[in-house]
Amino acid sequence: MVPANIASPFSPQIFISYSHDSADHDKRVLTFAERLLTDGIEVVLDQFVEPGSPPHGWPQWMDRQIENADFVLIVCTKTYLRKVKGREQAGRGHGVLWEGNLIYQHIYNAGAQNSKFIPVLYIRA
């Protein structure tokens, strides 16, 4: 990462895909996003959207963010995996399921080549 005080010829746009596992997890993701912003990286995160939902709804918003991002950071948790595989209880996890399907489609369209989607794992000390 390029420190914020050093000019960079390329400032990537990052979209963060994650599951809302808990309030603590949401805070951890927000802190991570804020750190990336401090380091001069443009970050798109659902928590930065005004309360409610985007004007065109979440599905189109997610599609647009994945399409426009230089990189998509996927915060991997057991809950994320369960949701992306459609194994969450009925009525829950629609956002991750939707994003997961969009990500699968992008990788499929690229012939299983991937230079955009990056897994992120939190390691507990």
3-state secondary structure of 66: helix
The set of residues, in sequence order, having a beta carbon less than 8 Å from that of 125 and lying 6+ positions away, is none
Angle (deg, nearest 10), helices 94-109 and 58-68: 40
pLDDT by residue (tens digit) across 66-75?
Answer: 999 999 999 9
Q: How many residues does the chain have?
A: 125
CA atoms within 13 A on the CB side of 114: 12
pLDDT at res. 95? 87
Domains in the chain, start-ordered, CATH in brackets? 13-120 (3.40.50.10140)
CA nearest 41: which of 71, 65, 11, 66?
Answer: 11
pLDDT by residue (tens digit) across 110-123?
Answer: 999 999 999 999 87
